[in-house]
Amino acid sequence: MTSRIAVLPGDGIGPEIVEQAVRVLRALDLDLELTEAPVGGAAYAAKGHPLPEDTLALARQSDAVLFGAVGDWKYDHLERALRPEQAVLGLRKALGLFANLRPAILYPELANASSLKPEVVAGLDILIVRELTGDIYFGQPRGVRTLEDGPFAGDRQGYDTMHYAETEVRRIAHVAFQAAARRQGRLCSVDKANVLETSQFWRDIMIDVAREYPQVELSHMYVDNAAMQLVRAPKAFDVVVTGNLFGDILSDEAAMLTGSIGMLPSASLNASRQGLYEPSHGSAPDIAGQNIANPLATILSAAMMLRYSLNAAPAADRIEAAVQAVLAQGLRTADIHENGTTRVSTSEMGDAVLKAL
């Protein structure tokens, strides 16, 4: 059966890096139908909206979305609803993408890129599973109110609400347990159950779902300790599952352990495993149009797409092995270049991955 992929290059380096990922996808012996559409600032410029109806309809009808990046200083003056970044939020909401998967992998060849000692991080391979559509980021009520009593009576107060419905916790738990089952079989659930009711509830449900996955070993960690362990002994983790707020912070922390922003893919999935796949980095307008951006995060995002949405894990393995091979050959884009390696452009990196495939 044909798999339909919406290709949304976006702004900045988006078009250059997506082009390389598309070349890689086309080189595979798979039945894929790729359709391109504008998104972000490019879509605003062409159609007056960062997420035009046609683009949204295409995304809905597709099995997966390959997304570049959006955003450019050119659009900073626009009202919030028309800014490029709204496209990502709109797609997340429309497709119900509640599970954000962010691997933090440090290839042995790039161990010097990390701010940590090579022996602490070389070979790091962890996966952070972040709940993306709930938690204090969306909880109601929220706002600013005037206090009627208590020590600050008469004072204004800003407030938000943290909550998770059982269904929300169960479905992210299943995504995380299934990912762990395919990996080393270790899942660490991160919460703040010593202080927060929401976290104790989260923890109880994780323990309940764990009974369906006897092959996965579940552990729990408070978020403050997890932040510490990530820089002390990150290789102790396999899969980490956590809520929206803690996941936002921990996934950025984990990404920085690798020091290679141009190397990290990400996936956002819904319950029917439809997904949006994009590099973890942004649109990098400072280097756009120069053919120097690193396309590997986007190419690795395409690999995740094959694994999680298109049921083509062997093809995903092939892409990941090809990326390893070009690194082993010493080929590097500017962002990961160091003495003794060969500097290549965006398109030359694409050529090398295709050849390795």
| Residues of span 73-112 touching Mg ion by CB under 5 A | none
Name the residue with the smallest CB distance to Mg ion.
282
Separation CA 102–CA 100 (nearest Å): 6
Candidates 21-29, 207-215, 236-244, 277-285 — which segment interacts with ligand ATP by CB under 6 A?
Answer: 277-285
Amino acid at 241: V
Count how many Cα atoms sit within 13 Å of the Cα of residue 110 in the half-sphere of its side chain. Answer: 29
Angle between helices 223-232 and 244-258 (to 10 degrees): 10
Shortest distance, CB of residue 280 to ligand ATP, whole angstroms? 8
Q: Which CB contacts under 8 angstroms, 24+ apart, belong to 351-356? A: 352/326, 353/20, 353/24, 353/296, 353/299, 353/319, 353/322, 353/323, 353/326, 354/23, 354/24, 354/27, 354/322, 356/321, 356/322, 356/323, 356/325, 356/326, 356/329
Residue 284 is a binding residue for ligand ATP (CB under 6 A)? yes
Q: Is 284 annotated as a binding residue?
A: yes
Measured on CA atoms in the order 33, 92, 41, 290, is the torsion positive or negative?
negative
Per rule CB under 6 A, count of chain residues that contact ligand ATP = 14
Shortest distance, CB of residue 24 to ligand ATP, whole angstroms? 15
Contact of residue 287 among ligand ATP, Mg ion, none (CB under 5-8 Å per partner type)? ligand ATP
Contact of residue 38 among Mg ion, ligand ATP, none (CB under 5-8 Å per partner type)? none
Separation CA 95–CA 6 (nearest Å): 13
164 is catalytic: no
Continuous H helices in the chain? 14-27, 41-47, 53-61, 86-95, 118-121, 166-182, 197-210, 223-232, 244-258, 296-308, 313-328, 346-356
Contact of residue 302 among ligand ATP, Mg ion, none (CB under 5-8 Å per partner type)? none
- Residue of 159, 252, 317, 355 marked catalytic: 252
Choose among 251, 271, 256, 263: nearest CA to 303.
263
Which CB sits closer to Mg ion, 118 or 282?
282
Cβ atoms < 10 Å from Cβ of 174: 15
- Residue of 155, 204, 224, 317 marked catalytic: 224
- Please identify which residue in the block is written with the tokens 């049921």: 311
248 is catalytic: yes
Shortest distance, CB of residue 17 to Mg ion, whole angstroms? 15
Q: Is 92 exposed, middle or buried (0-12, 13-18, 19+ CB in 10 A)?
A: middle
Which CB sits closer to ligand ATP, 190 or 287?
287
Shortest distance, CB of residue 335 to ligand ATP, whole angstroms? 4
Which CB sits closer to ligand ATP, 53 or 286?
286
CA distances from 222 to 9, 76, 201 (A): 38, 38, 14
Site string for Mg ion, 282-311 (x = CB under 5 A): x-----------------------------
252 is catalytic: yes
**Applying CB under 6 A, which of residues 20, 294, 301, 309 lies at the interface with ligand ATP?**
294
Shortest distance, CB of residue 280 to Mg ion, whole angstroms? 8
The 3-state DSSP composition of the chain as helix, strand, coil percent (nearest 5) reads 45, 20, 35
Which CB sits closer to ligand ATP, 217 or 348?
348
Choose among 264, 248, 249: nearest CA to 335.
264
**Applying CB under 6 A, which of residues 196, 229, 282, 347 lies at the interface with ligand ATP?**
282
Shortest distance, CB of residue 294 to Mg ion, whole angstroms? 15
Q: Is 92 annotated as a binding residue?
A: yes
Residue 286 is a binding residue for ligand ATP (CB under 6 A)? yes
Which residues fall in the annotated binding site for NAD(+)? 282-294
Active site residues: 137, 192, 224, 248, 252
Binding residues for Mg(2+): 224, 248, 252
Contact set with Mg ion (CB under 5 A): 282
Which residues contact ligand ATP by CB under 6 A?
13, 71, 261-262, 281-284, 286-287, 293-294, 297, 335
